[in-house]
Amino acid sequence: MGRQLVPLTWEGLSELPVRCRACAFWELTPVGGAEAERAGRTAEEKAAWIATVLREWGSCGRVVHVDQRPAGFVLYAPPAYVPRSQVFPTSPVSSDAVQLLTARVLPEFEGQGLGRVMVQTVAKDLLGRGVKAIEAFGESRWKGPACVLPTDYLRAVGFEVVRDHVTHPRLRLELKRAISWRADVELALDLLLGAKVRPALRPS
C-alpha cells in the first residue's frame, strides 16, 4: 500500500468529498454563509478562500493518497482567515496558534492509521513555519458528522482545554508535544480523524 501526503491546492479541491468541497462553514461568517447557501455558491466561496490563504499565508491543508487515490484530508489556517471562529463563545484563538478547522478519513480507508499520519504531518509543517501550537473549538454535544470536531476526541489526542465552555470549549495542542506522541495515543489520533470510530467520525 503506497501512501503519499500532498499539500492541498486550489486544483486539488476536486479530490475532497463533494460535501466537503462545497462546505464554507469556517470560511465565511454566519451571515455570509447563509447568503452563499441561498445563492448556491458555497463551493465557489470555498475555492476562493483556499486561493487567498495559499497566496497570502501558504499551505493550509493536506490530502492523503493511498495507492494514488484520495483517502482523506485535513484543513488548517491562522484564525485571521477563519471568520466563523470569531462567533464562538470561547474565541479568539491564541495569536501564536493556527486553528485546526476540520479533517476526514474516507470510510473505505478507515483503520489504516491515516489520521495519525495526517496530524503529525500538519504538526511538522507548522513547526517548520515557526508556529507553536494548534488550537481548535470542540463540540461537547457532538451527535454526528459536523464541521466542529468532538471535544472528547480532541482531548484524547492530547489537546487541553484553555477556555472551558459547556458546548464549545477551546483546546490547544503544543506542537512539540504532537511530534513526540507515543504509540499509546496513536489509536486516539485515528479516532479523531475517522478511523475505527463508533459511530464513524466524518466531519465535513
User: How confident is the model over 19-74, as pLDDT tens digits?
Assistant: 898 999 999 999 999 999 999 999 999 999 999 999 999 999 999 999 888 898 99
CB 62, CB 118: distance < 8 Å: yes
pTM for the structure as a whole:
0.83
Q: What is the CA radius of gyration of the chain?
A: 16
User: How confident is the model over 83-102, as pLDDT tens digits?
Assistant: 999 999 999 999 999 999 98
pLDDT(109) > 90: no
Contact partners, residue 136, CB within 8 Å, separation at least 6: 99, 100, 149, 154, 159, 170, 171, 173
Q: What percent of the chain has pLDDT over 70?
A: 85
pLDDT for res 195: 43
pLDDT band for position 17 (cuts 50, 70, 90): confident
Mean pLDDT of 147-173: 89
In whole angstroms, give the CA distance from residue 45 to residue 178. Answer: 32
In whole angstroms, give the CA distance from residue 171 to residue 146. Answer: 17
Q: Which amino acid appears at position 1 of this protein? A: M
pLDDT(79) > 80: yes
pLDDT band for position 158 (cuts 50, 70, 90): confident
pLDDT for res 99: 96
pLDDT for res 196: 39
pLDDT for res 26: 96
